[in-house]
Amino acid sequence: MATWLKRGASAEAKRDADRKVRDIVEAALADIEARGDEAVREMSVKFDGWDREDYRLTQAEIDACVEGLTAQERKDIEFAQAQVHNFAQIQRDSMKEVEVETLPGVTLGHKHIPVNAAGCYVPGGKYPLLASAHMSVITAKVAGVPRVITCAPPFEGKPADKIVAAQAMAGADEIYALGGIQAIGAMALGTQSIGAVDMLVGPGNAFVAEAKRQLFGRVGIDLFAGPTETMVIADETVDGELCATDLLGQAEHGPESPAILITNSEKLARDTMREVERLLEILPTADYARPAWENFGEVVVCDSYEEMRNVADDYANEHVQVMTEDPDYFLKNMTNYGALFLGPRTNVSYGDKVIGTNHTLPTKKSARYTGGLWVGKFLKTCTYQRVDTDEATTLVGEYCSRLCAMEGFAGHGEQANIRVRRYGGRNVPYAGAVEPSRETVA
Name the nearest CA neighbour of 290 among 259, 269, 321: 259
Residue 253 assigned ligand-binding role: yes
Find out whether 312 and 233 touch, Cβ atoms under 8 Å: yes
Question: Collapsing DSSP states into helix, strand and coil, what is residue 4?
Answer: strand
Find out whether 117 and 149 touch, Cβ atoms under 8 Å: yes
Residues of the chain with pLDDT under 50: none
Is 319 assigned a catalytic role? yes
Residue 230 assigned ligand-binding role: no
* pLDDT for the residue numbered 226: 72
pTM score, two decimals? 0.93
Q: How far apart are CA 347 and CA 355, in angstroms?
A: 10
Find the catalytic residue in 85, 112, 134, 319: 319
Length of the chain, please? 442
Residues with Cβ within 8 Å of 203's Cβ and at least 6 positions away in sequence, in order, are 121, 123, 129, 132, 209, 225, 226, 228, 359, 360, 361
319, burial (CB in 10 Å: exposed 0-12, middle 13-18, buried 19+): buried
Q: Mind listing the domains of the chain with CATH numbers?
A: 14-98+113-221 (3.40.50.1980), 227-372 (3.40.50.1980), 389-441 (no CATH)
363, burial (CB in 10 Å: exposed 0-12, middle 13-18, buried 19+): buried
* pLDDT for the residue numbered 14: 67
Residue 85 assigned ligand-binding role: no
Find the catalytic residue in 298, 318, 359, 398: 318
Q: How far apart are CA 411 and CA 414, in angstroms?
A: 5
Name the nearest CA neighbour of 185 among 210, 168, 157: 210
DSSP string across 321-382: EEESS-HHHHHHH----SEEEESTT--HHHHHHTSSS------TTGGGT-----GGGGEEEE
* pLDDT for the residue numbered 345: 98
Residue 228 assigned ligand-binding role: yes
Residue 83 assigned ligand-binding role: no
Residue 121 assigned ligand-binding role: yes
Residue 412 assigned ligand-binding role: yes
Find out whether 232 and 202 touch, Cβ atoms under 8 Å: no
Name the nearest CA neighbour of 299 among 319, 283, 315: 315
Q: How far apart are CA 8 and CA 17, in angstroms?
A: 14
Is 85 assigned a catalytic role? no
